[in-house]
Amino acid sequence: MEQITGVIITLNEERHIEACIESMKKVCSSIIVVDSCSGDKTRELAEKAGARVVVQEYLGDGPQKNVGPDLSDTPWVLSLDADERLTPEMVAEIKALNLAESPVPAYGFPRKNYIGSRWIRHSGWYPDVCVRLYDHRKVRWKDVRMHSFVETRDFRVLKGNIIHYSYRGIGELFRKADSYSNAIAKNMYQRGKRAGAWSPFLHGLSALLKHYVIKGGFLDGVDGMTVSISSAINSYLKYAKLLEFQRDSEILKNEDFSKVW
């Protein structure tokens, strides 16, 4: 089996980091944790679990995820978030790959997203394919500050899954909507995106219909409705905040656009 370097970016992930590293050890010869100056025990726990820890002030999603691969001594990199895990089926599938003669530079993983211990099977949350295993000599994470991805269309999707412990519960799901929407609105404003008076309502309604009806959220029962409403609120808030940035100069004075998350 070709050697693989595992890479994880972290910020205050003491709750997840050990389990993530143990999961990656099943297929990785070494693991690099790129930590964004955590204030908890993330770095200590990562080193104890056998990872190499590199402290790097946060550069944005894409640039931060490229730090680890640039330090790796293997062509192939497995990139996971701290709250993601490999399933036994995925471990077996990765071990069976002949990466030295791979016909593609990257592999995508179907991702099972959870709220608490509940897998959300529809609502646009599955299969949620993410490229996570790749030859960093050939492909890299896109150089953007938010929602980066490995830049390639030449990848093969594996059959196994990875697990993503997205939220502890629905309370966390809704609490994060505020910070996520704020970051996205800042990013949109920086890029010159502008909203109209009806934008928040129309985008919120569109997100609700998309996730609950088109993406089959109704098949997930109460959780599907909850996820769909959360998506609608998040979409509404990001356009409402963008509109606020446009209309209220006092709000803009208090925003630090040099630190868009």
Place of tokens 């608490």: 116
- pLDDT confidence of residue 261: 47
Cα(237)–Cα(185) distance, rounded to whole angstroms?
8
- Residues in contact with 178: Cβ distance below 8 Å, sequence separation at least 6, in sequence order: 237
pLDDT value, residue 67: 98
The continuous run of DSSP H or E covering 76 comes out as: strand 76-79
Q: Which residues of the chain have pLDDT under 70?
A: 256-261
Q: How far is CA 146 from CA 49, 60, 118, 134, 167, in A?
A: 29, 7, 27, 20, 19
Q: Is the dihedral of CA 166, 168, 169, 173 positive or negative?
A: negative
The pLDDT value given to residue 257: 61
Between CA 41 and CA 114 the distance in angstroms is: 24
Is pTM, for the whole model, over 0.85?
Answer: yes
Could you report the per-residue pLDDT of 4-17, keeping only the tens digit for each?
999 999 999 999 99
